[in-house]
Amino acid sequence: MAEIIYNTCLNYLVLALSFFMLLSDSSSSANAASVQYNVVSLGAKADGKTDSSKAFLSAWALACGSTSAATVYVPQGRFLVQSASFNGPCKNSAITVRIDSTLVAPSDYNMNGNVGNWIVLRQVTGVSVFGGNPGRAGHGPLGLQALRQELPYWHRTLTIIGFFRPFAREVGYLNLEISNSQNILVSGLSSLNSQMFHIVINACQNLKMQGVKVSASGTSPNTDGIHIGASTGVTILNSKIGTGDDCVSIGPGSNNLWIENVACGPGHGISIGSLGKDQQEDGVQNVTVKTVTFTGTQNGVRIKSWARPSNSFARNILFQHAIMNNVQNPMIIDQNYCPNSGCPNQASGVRVSDVTYQDIHGTSATEVAVKFDCSSEYPCTGIKMQDVKLSYRNQVATASCAHAGGTASGIEQPSSCL
C-alpha cells in the first residue's frame, strides 16, 4: 500500500508509495530482464530534508529512454521531492515503478511555484506502480502513508487551468494526476488529507486502480477521492475512500468505466457530474458501479447537472448491489445542481437516460430516500428500479420524482414514483 502524510514536526507533506510485486514465473523472468535505476545511486538522499527531485527525474529519464523494460526503484528511506512531472512518450512501454519508501513534499504551496499538483504522470504508456510492505511511520518500511494536510482550507483561492475548467478553488496541492496516458496500473496507493483532489485521471485509456485508500475529514472541501475526466476504460477495484467531497466523481467525456467493491464514507457519494456546466460538452456513458457500500455519506449514487442549456448527457448507467448506511440521499438525480450562489435557474439541457438501480438496500438519514429531480425540458427516460429496499427510522422511506419516467419491479420500498 502507499499513502501521502503530513508531519507537523517537520512541517512537511509526505507521500509514501511502498510496493509489492505479484510473483509468477513469467513476471519474475520479465523483471530479471528489466534494467533497474535506483534513485539513491543517482544522488537521492534518504534523509527527508535534501531535495531529491533531480535524482527522481534522472531515474525516470533513464527508464523512459530505455529501449527495453525498465524499473525505477526507490529503496527504504525518506525522500524530499518537489513538484515533479514524469513525462513521456517513452521508448518502451514496460516501465515499473517500485517505491519502498516515503516521498516528502514541501508543506508550503508556494515552494512548488503554485503548480496546483505534486506528482504527475503525463503521456506515458505501459507504466505499472505496485505497493506493499505495509508498516507504520517510523517503524520500518512504510505503507498506508499519504498526504496529510492540517492547514485551513479556506484562506485563499486561485484559478486552476488545464484539466479543470477554470474556476475558483482553495489553494493546495493536487496529490497525483495521471493524464493523457494509456495502459496504466496502480496498485496500493493511499492518500490522507490531501489539500485538494487526491487522485485525478484525465484523458486516459485503459487505466486500472486497485487497493486505493483515501482518507480526509468529512468537512474538507474539494477533496474528491478519485476524479475521472475525459477517459475511457477506467477500472477502480477494492478501494476504501473517505473524504469531504465525492468519493468518486465522473466528469464529462468519460465512458466505459467499471467501479466495483468500493467503500465510501464520509463523503458525497459516487457521482456522475456535475454535467452541463458548458453548453457544448461531452457526455458520460457506459458506467457500472457495483458492490459498493456508503456509510454516513451525503449521497449514495448520484447524477448531477447544472440547470442551464447543454448538449451533454448521461446514459447507460448501472448502479448494482449497493448498501446504504444512514445516507442522506441514497439515490438521487439532481438536475438543478448548484452548490453555491448565482444559480442559473434554467432547465437543464443534459439528457439522462437508461439508468438502472438494481439491488439497492439499507437505511436513509432522511425520509425521502429516492429523489429524481429531472429536467423539465428534457425529462429523464428509461429509469429502471429493481429490488430497492430503503428504510428511514425503521419505517419505509418515501420517493420523490419530477419529470422522471421509467419502471419499477421486484421489491419497491419506497413505492415507485416513476
Residues belonging to the active site: 245, 268
Query: Nine-digit cell at 255?
Result: 465512458
* Rounded Cα distance, 380 and 315, in Å: 10
CB 99 within 8 A of CB 17: yes
E strand residue ranges, 265-350: 270-275, 284-295, 299-306, 313-327, 329-337
CB 14 within 8 A of CB 175: no
Give how far Cα 396 sits from Cα of 334, 390, 391, 414, Å. 22, 7, 4, 6
Q: 381 forms bridges with which residues in the sheet?
A: 353
Query: Nine-digit cell at 311?
Result: 448538449
CA 286-356-307 angle, to 5 degrees, is: 75
From the list 149, 159, 165, the residue with the least C-alpha distance to 278 is: 165
Instruction: Show Cβ contacts of residue 359 under 8 Å, excluding neighbours closer than 6 positions.
Output: 320, 321, 322, 386, 387, 388
Instruction: Show Cβ contacts of residue 133 under 8 Å, excluding neighbours closer than 6 positions.
Output: 18, 19, 20, 100, 141, 142, 143
Cis amide prior to 152 (ω within 30 degrees): no
* Rounded Cα distance, 195 and 182, in Å: 27
Q: Measured on CA atoms in the order 233, 175, 131, 82, is the torsion positive or negative?
A: positive
